[in-house]
Amino acid sequence: MRPTKPYAFALMARVFPKADAFRVLQLTEEVENLQAVAGFVASITAFSLHLPPLQVGIIVFVTVFTFRLVHFFGLLVPPFTFFLPVSRVYSFVAGYGVLLVGVLAFGYFTTGWHGIIAFIVVRIACGLLT
């Protein structure tokens, strides 16, 4: 049986005094964006450290892959839940590729086009693998 919208909102209504439907949907979006936030933070960190392209790729791949597994298996335990407030802010500013363009520009100026190619290849590979 596939849940419908009225059924989903009926379940959200059960937790109404503690959380409203907007907060439940916002938390759902935060959990969905965890891997994107982790990849963004890992790439900014790797680029700012001026790491070689191979290390940039390894760091971004391991981070994104780990957070995708966390989401897949539902392992929302304290080391990973610290990113939820960051994910809330990320959901407000992410969109239309603005942050992606910013990361690519920052990566180009810090590591060159080799780092950008490593970043793009790793993100595609991680998407295909998961």
25 part of a folded domain: no
57 part of a folded domain: yes
Q: How many domains are contained in the chain?
A: 1
75 part of a folded domain: yes
Q: What is the overall mean pLDDT for the chain?
A: 89
Which has more confidence, 120 or 15? 120
17 part of a folded domain: no
Q: If 0-12 CB within 10 Å is exposed, 13-18 middle and 19+ buried, where does residue 62 land?
A: middle
Secondary structure in 3-state letters for the chain: CCCCHHHHHHHHHHCCCCCCHHHHHHHHHHHHCHHHHHHHHHHHHHHHCCCCHHHHHHHHHHHHHHHHHHHHHCCCCHHHHCCHHHHHHHHHHCCCCHHHHHHHHHHHHHHCHHHHHHHHHHHHHHHHHC
Q: Given a cut of 80, is residue 11 above it in pLDDT?
A: no
9 part of a folded domain: no
59 part of a folded domain: yes
pLDDT tens profile 62-112:
999 999 999 899 888 888 888 888 998 898 888 788 899 999 999 999 999
Q: Given a cut of 70, is residue 1 above it in pLDDT?
A: no
Give me the domain span that covers residue 83.
Answer: 37-129
Q: Please give the model's pTM, rounded to 2 decimal places.
A: 0.83
Q: Given a cut of 90, is residue 18 above it in pLDDT?
A: no
109 part of a folded domain: yes
43 part of a folded domain: yes
For 65, the token pair is 């892959």
